[in-house]
Chain A
Amino acid sequence: MKVIIKIERGRKDGSILIIGMAILSFLLVFAVPHLFQQSPENKVTDKSANYSAALSLAEAGVERVIWELNYGDISTWKGDSTSRTLTISSYQAPASDVIGDIEIRVEDPDGESPQVKSTGRVAYTSPLAEGKTARVYLERTTRVELERNGYNWVCSFPQKQIQIPASRVQGSTF
């Protein structure tokens, strides 16, 4: 009895590789944008956290001015009666890395409405191509005008509220 084994070859050869590669290519279409998206997202989140720290430093500067005017002596700061400045370097959290610097400028410190400009600055290491990094500073600035409330200086915010036309308000973010 003759047993004939017929092996069909030709167009089906290597089809598993082709199908596999097609599936992987399909996955790659999703993977590549996913990978490229991570780096900017990571940067944005880190920057956002550092900007938040910088804003707190800027507010700390305003608090410092209020304290100096109420309880301290602002005349020890650099400058004259038109403007005085103070820089606090390496403002640090306990048992932590350096948080950043504060640069404070007070216009008309001896007048009736001293204007404070306080800038919080936080160091941020930005990754660049080819394994290099750039050390940049993220800044947030707070500007306030101080006013007298009895014997004390306090922080006054604008009394006029910003009116937003109803037609421009969309969604429920407010």
Chain B
Amino acid sequence: MQQPASKRKESTIKRKKREEGLTYIEVLVTVVILAVVLIALLSCFVHGFNVLSRIKQTAVATQAIQEELELIRNMSFNDILTLDSSFTNESLSLLEESTGAVNVEDSLGDDIKKLTVSVFWSYRDIQMRKDVVTYITRKGINRK
């Protein structure tokens, strides 16, 4: 038994409308899926680059401290006693809001000092710090 022409036409339009709507939903779902995956992926990249940036800064700070320590070890003991409490070098310019500090402290006697070389810098509003401590004596390493 055949349906009347008007009913056939109505059902065809309904089907077409449903098919068109389904395409929009498909696109919407696709966009949502892709957005979720893309955001997850991007956050991985962002986190990764942050970690790499922190690694680089730690390495630069360590290098700056080592440089300064070697310079101090090659100075005479009397020059060390009159050292500035801050230092700067090329490596430090790579760090944000960085300062280098040297602290010469009295230790066991007049001929031995406790030397601390520190680097402070800022990373995403967090204050970072690296220290290296050692002894320096009048007739010590590199001083004959």
Interface presence of A70 (CB below 8 A): yes
Indicate if B65 sits at the interface (CB-CB under 8 A): yes
CA A24 – CA B112 in complex, angstroms?
Answer: 62
Tell me, in angstroms, the Cα distance from A28 to B40 when the chains sit together: 10
Nearest CB in chain B: distance from A63 CB, A = 4
Bound complex: CA A155 to CA B139 (Å): 8
Chain A, residue nearest B56 (CB):
A45
CB < 8 Å: which of A9, A28, A45, A56 contacts B132?
A56
A45 x B30 contact (CB < 8 A): no
Does B34 interact with chain A (Cβ within 8 Å)? Answer: yes
Return the chain B residue nearest A34 by Cβ.
Answer: B48
Q: Say if the beta carbon of A20 comes within 8 Å of chain B.
A: yes
Asked if A123 is at the interface (CB within 8 A of a chain B CB), the reply is no
Tell me which of B45, B58, B112, B133 contacts A93 (CB under 8 A). B133
- On whether the beta carbons of B139 and A154 are closer than 8 Å, the reply is yes
Interface presence of B81 (CB below 8 A): no
The number of chain A residues with a CB under 8 A from chain B is: 48
The CA of A46 and the CA of B108, in the complex, are separated in Å by 31
- Cα-based distance from A63 to B143 in the complex (angstroms): 11
Q: Mark A114-142, 1 if CB is under 8 A from B, else 0.
A: 00000000000000000000000000000
Question: B140 touching A42 by the CB < 8 A rule?
Answer: no
A56 touches B16 (CB 8 A): no
Contact A31 B44 (CB under 8 A): yes
- Indicate whether B14 reaches chain A with its CB closer than 8 angstroms: no
Contact A38 B48 (CB under 8 A): yes
Query: Which among A21, A66, A149 has the greatest number of chain B C-beta atoms within 10 A?
Result: A66
Q: List the one stretch of A11-19, A105-113, A161-169 in contact with chain B.
A: A11-19
Q: Are B135 and A60 in contact, with the CB atoms below 8 A?
A: yes
Expressed in whole angstroms, the Cα–Cα distance for A53 and B133 within the complex equals 7
A49 to B130, Cβ gap below 8 A? Answer: yes
- Mark B1-42 against chain A: 1 for CB-CB distance below 8 A, else 0: 000000000000000100110010011001001100110010
B141 at the interface (CB under 8 A from A): yes
A172 CB to nearest chain B CB (Å): 19
Instruction: Please report which residues of chain A, range 57-100, place their CB below 8 angstroms from some CB of chain B when the two chains form the complex.
Output: 57, 59-64, 66-67, 70-72, 91-94, 96, 99
- Listed in ascending order, the chain B residues whose CB lies under 8 Å from chain A are 16, 19-20, 23, 26-27, 30, 33-34, 37-38, 41, 44-45, 48, 51-52, 54-55, 58-59, 61-62, 65-66, 69, 103, 105, 108-109, 111-112, 116, 118, 129-144
Which residues does A use to contact B, with CB under 8 Å?
Answer: 5, 7, 9, 13-14, 16-17, 20-21, 24, 27-28, 31, 34-35, 38, 41-42, 45-46, 48-49, 52-53, 56-57, 59-64, 66-67, 70-72, 91-94, 96, 99, 149, 152-155
Please name the 5 residue pairs, one residue from A and one from B, whose CB atoms are nearest each other, closest first: A63-B135, A93-B131, A60-B135, A60-B134, A67-B137
